[in-house]
Amino acid sequence: MSSSYLSTWAANSSLDFLLASAFLSCHLDDPTPAGLGSTEILGGGYQRQPITFSGAANRAAVSNNPQVFTGMPECTVFWLGVWNGLAGGRMVSAVQVSPAVPVPASGQFVVAAGDIAILF
């Protein structure tokens, strides 16, 4: 059987399309490739934050704005997710937080610009 692959142009174009309107989420556990919303943090003032990405190059795109989650419930952030909707939507990618970050009640969780890279 022969193998196949996306060209770099196709991978870059796909990333640009998928990340054109994206939101970052925090998760208590691995959302898995299925994009399990049940692992997402709930409560307090938590809500997904808008995330923007550089134009894809060399099959990768990197975040270019910070995300600040405020009013978080007491939790530990183990995973981050990139979604195509502020609520609901579909997960595009997941990133493991290592080491996991504990957040106190009413605390905040900050993700710096450049911390999220998506590779194709």
Phi/psi of residue 39, nearest 5 degrees: -90, -5
Question: For the chain, what is the mean pLDDT?
Answer: 96
pLDDT of residue 47: 97
Burial readout 9-20 (b: 16 or more C-beta within 10 A, e: otherwise)? eebbeebeebbe
**Overall average pLDDT of the 14-33 stretch:** 97
pLDDT reading at 110 higher than 90: yes
Tens digits of per-residue pLDDT, 65-74? 999 999 999 9
pLDDT band at 101 (very low <50, low <70, confident <90, very high): very high
pLDDT of residue 31: 97
pLDDT reading at 112 higher than 90: yes
Q: Where are the domains of the chain?
A: 8-119
pLDDT of residue 2: 83
Tens digits of per-residue pLDDT, 78-99? 999 999 999 999 999 999 999 9
